[in-house]
Amino acid sequence: MMTKHYIDGPFGQIHIRRWGDDSCNEPLLICLAPSPFSGVAYSTLAPLLASERRVVAIDYPGYGLSDPCDKAPLIEDYAKAVAAVIEALSADEPVDLLGFHTGCLVAVETSLLFTERVKRMLLVDVPFFEPAKQEELLAKTPLESELSSELLGLNKAWDFCVAKRLEHIPLPRAYDMFLDYISAGQASNAAFRAAFQYSCEAQFSKVSTPCWVIATSSGLFEPSRATAEVIQNAELVELTEITVAVLEKGAPIISQAVSGLLSN
């Protein structure tokens, strides 16, 4: 069963979702979301993972039900919010981190900020781009999303979450993701912009936390392989059978892979 909670963080309250039995002895697994979503992105995968461990999915500041930052956030700010959750939930015990897309960058930065408390990391489909590509993407991503008085203004979010994904995701789930997407309003681009400003190679090269990089065929296969080369002692896991909807259609495969790696 999933429960919802609030934790005090550096920018206000942080909203989290929790699954699993609190009496479990396995390290807490913290799931970090892709842009532009909240922890609701893990609502399909987390229950599968929670059969063996406690699982938490975090809403970044400004997303879902978490309070926003008082400035344009950077990946470092999201990592500070994750650190607050670790402090509140894990006592003195180490935690594991699972990131997807932007969540991979947040996981890496959290591991650097809180090295002694992060036991292992699993990074799924890492947005590891060259600086020139990041600059290009940042220039195309406005600071604030444009709001419209016309319903047509929601077409982009509808196409991204629903129209183009119904072949792989049930309509009620796609609709939930659509509502999550638009809930951030004008701030929906914040996590994208934070990701495009993150110094990936420089930060990845500092990582000492044991790490698995999971590469699927859904769009970031080569950047993920490159990540495994930059992060010291990272192990590359290729799940080429996953081609779409990694956290939805691919959830059973991801769950099996993650559970297997963490049980070693």
In the chain, where the domains are located: 3-135+190-262
pLDDT on residue 246: 97
Strand order in the sheet with 28-32: 3-9, 12-19, 55-58, 28-32, 95-100, 118-124, 211-216, 235-239
Q: How far apart are the first and last CA of the chain?
A: 26
Is the pLDDT score of 153 beyond 90?
no
Answer whether 78's CB lies under 8 Å from 60's CB: yes
Superfamily of domain 3-135+190-262: Alpha/Beta hydrolase fold, catalytic domain (3.40.50.1820)
Residue 125 pLDDT grade (very low, low, confident, very high; cuts 50, 70, 90): very high
The per-residue pLDDT for range 170-191, each reduced to its tens digit, is 999 999 999 999 999 999 999 9
Is the pLDDT score of 34 beyond 90?
yes
The per-residue pLDDT for range 43-68, each reduced to its tens digit, is 999 999 998 899 999 999 999 999 99
Mean of the per-residue pLDDT values for the chain?
Answer: 95
pLDDT on residue 150: 87
What is the average pLDDT across 83-110? 95
The pLDDT > 90 percentage for the chain reads 88
pLDDT on residue 52: 86
If DSSP codes are grouped into helix, strand and coil, which group holds residue 157? helix
